[in-house]
Amino acid sequence: MPEPESAFERETKEVKDFVKLLGTTVSGGLAAVGAVAPLAGFIWQTIAPPWPPASPVIPAMFSLMTVVAMFLTFRASPEADARRWSKRLWITGLVLGTLYLYLAAEYVDAVDGRAYLTGLRLTPEARTAVDDPKGPKNVTKDLLDYFGYSSEDRIWEGRSFLKWLMLVLCCFASASFAGGLSLLLVATIIRNRAMPPLGPLPGPPSGSPP
**Domains contained in the chain, number:** 1
Query: CA-CA distance, 73 to 186, in Å (whole number)?
Result: 10
Query: CA-CA distance, 104 to 46, in Å (whole number)?
Result: 7
Convert the pLDDT of each residue in 122-176 to its tens digit.
999 999 999 999 899 999 999 999 999 999 999 999 999 999 999 999 999 999 9
Whole-structure pTM value:
0.83
pLDDT score, position 199: 52
Residue 201 within any structural domain of the chain: no
Residue 65 within any structural domain of the chain: yes
Residue 51 within any structural domain of the chain: yes
Residue 85: give the domain boundaries. 11-120+158-193
Residue 62 within any structural domain of the chain: yes
> Residue range 86-93: average pLDDT?
94
Residue 208: pLDDT above 60? Answer: no
pLDDT score, position 174: 94
Residue 39 within any structural domain of the chain: yes
Residue 208 within any structural domain of the chain: no
Residue 130 within any structural domain of the chain: no
Residue 115 within any structural domain of the chain: yes
Query: CA-CA distance, 59 to 171, in Å (whole number)?
Result: 4
Convert the pLDDT of each residue in 172-190 to its tens digit.
999 999 999 999 889 988 8
> Among 130, 163, 167, which residue's Cα sits nearest to residue 147?
130
18 contacts 68 by C-beta, under 8 angstroms: yes
Residue 10: pLDDT above 70? Answer: yes
